[in-house]
Amino acid sequence: MRSTSSHEAVPATTPAASLVFTTVLSHGPLTRTEIARRTMLSSAAVTKAVRPLMEVGYLVEDLNDGARSALGRPANPVRVNAGRAFFIGVKVTGDEIIAVLADLCCRIRVARHIRLTHREPEAVLPSMTSLVHELLLEAEGFGVQVRGLGIAVSGDVDRADGVVRYSPFLDWRDVPLAGIAETATGLPVTVDNDVRALTVAEQWFGAGVGLSDFALVTVGAGIGCGLVVHGQVVSGAHGVAGEIGHLSIDPLGPPCHCGNNGCVEAIAADPAILRAVRKVTGRAVTTAAEALELARSGDPGVREIYARAGEAIGRAIGAVVNLLGPERVIISGEGLAAYDLFAEGIRNAFAASAFGTAAECDVMTRPLSFEEWARGAAATAIQSFIGSDTD
């Protein structure tokens, strides 16, 4: 976690306090008894964690006419005071910057978009800084201070050092993004891979709430995967984990930008599909919408391209389920627009690949807008703020 000591942090200075806060954040309102049951902490430890968080207003008690537990303790539920602090989340794509102002419960209050004409850091960073300052002014209108900035970028991102080591869609290498953004905005900054950031949001506020083990697979411009194992988002020993897009499932397949052949991303990502469609049809197809129109009009060659893409995704999901045994796999990303064309290939390949009872894994789709990816960046800022990024 990167932050500067001059900024206030939530007083979750112990693992127990951080655990209590994140439990209430995801599952609240909860009584102290329910918190103890979910966290497996003693009642005394819960009380010790809750009291200072209430004193500074991050947790509040929902009064319930003096209700008492069986042991005579107050049974009023405790919840997070969402308006106590705001956070800014930024998602940088190859074409635009999306920024959101979110409250402490990661609900989006304001969203801003700006198109990018150039992808060099020298062009992107001033635009990003301008959006952040706009949202800081919005926060002033709410009378709430912004406590952190989260930035989500595709590719190999070192969260601990705040460095974008390599982002293929932006063509960035070794950009010290957190340090630059901290200097420009005056905020504590968390920089993470965009799929991991979205996974944090799903773990705390979305389809992963309450699950100890799940995977988030994203399809679209790339093929990504966020992993949660034993309640922790996996970042890997070297900051790279879950890169199912670079599983080589066909050594004789098309070349991938990573240097290998037949990667899932080289078969099923939007750019790969467009290349294949152009080759099969001879048409100058430049957008996913054009390719979808051809497929849905019944072009057999284009439909076969999508079927093959679905098969590649299904085999990749089968590999994840066989290796980690998650309770659920969530499929999301802008590529879900083609899910009707992918679905059968995904189902069949997953069923063929999954071993034994691994096939019982719940595989679901969850359409999410790019604003939700920016919300994921805000979630990482909240995570850093409350001191729970301990993986």
Would residue 6 count as lying in a domain?
Answer: no
Mean pLDDT by 10 residues, the chain (391 residues): 44 78 92 94 93 91 63 77 96 95 97 94 95 97 96 93 92 96 96 96 94 96 94 84 91 90 95 96 94 95 96 96 95 94 95 92 94 97 78 39
pTM, to two decimals? 0.89
Q: What is the CATH number of the domain that holds 52?
A: 1.10.10.10
Q: Is residue 273 part of a domain?
A: yes
State residue 279's pLDDT score.
95
Q: Which of 80, 103, 127 is where one domain is finished?
A: 80
Domain membership of residue 332 (yes or no) is: yes
Which domain CATH number covers 357? 3.30.420.40
For residues 229 and 294, membership in a common domain is answered with yes
Per-residue pLDDT at 33: 94
142 and 169 housed in the same domain: yes
User: Residue 45 falls within a domain, yes or no?
Assistant: yes
Kindly state whether residue 280 falls inside one of the protein's structural domains: yes
| Residue 72 covered by a domain | yes
- The reply to whether 222 and 89 lie within a common domain is no
Q: How confident is the model at residue 257, as a pLDDT?
A: 86
Range of the domain at 49: 15-80
Residue 186 is assigned to a structural domain of this protein: yes
For residues 68 and 53, membership in a common domain is answered with: yes
- Same structural domain, 102 and 147: yes
End-of-domain residue from the set 80, 108, 129? 80
Last residue of a domain, one of 80, 110, 126: 80
What pLDDT is stored for residue 9 in this prediction?
52
Domain count, the chain: 3
Tell whether 381 is covered by a domain.
yes
Q: Are residues 351 and 260 in the same domain?
A: yes
Same structural domain for residues 53 and 99? no
Question: Is there a single domain that holds both residue 112 and residue 192?
Answer: yes
pLDDT of residue 391: 39
Do 133 and 227 sit in the same domain of this protein?
no
**159 and 178 together in one domain:** yes
- Considering the domain architecture, whether residues 296 and 215 belong to the same structural domain is answered as yes
DSSP collapsed to 3 states, the chain: CCCCCCCCCCCCCCHHHHHHHHHHHHHCCECHHHHHHHHCCCHHHHHHHHHHHHHCCCEEECCCCCCECCCCCECCCEEECHHHCEEEEEEECCCEEEEEEEECCCCEEEEEEEECCCCCHHHHHHHHHHHHHHHHHHHHHHCCCEEEEEEEECCEEECCCCEEEEECCCCEEEECHHHHHHHHHCCCEEEEEHHHHHHHHHHHHCCCCCCCCEEEEEECCCEEEEEEECCEECCCCCCCCCCHHHCECCCCCCECCCCCECEHHHHHCHHHHHHHHHHHHCCCCCCHHHHHHHHHCCCHHHHHHHHHHHHHHHHHHHHHHHHHCCCEEEEECHHHHHHHHHHHHHHHHHHHHCCHHHHHCEEEECCCCHHHHHHHHHHHHHHHHCCCCCC
In a shared domain, residues 179 and 213: no
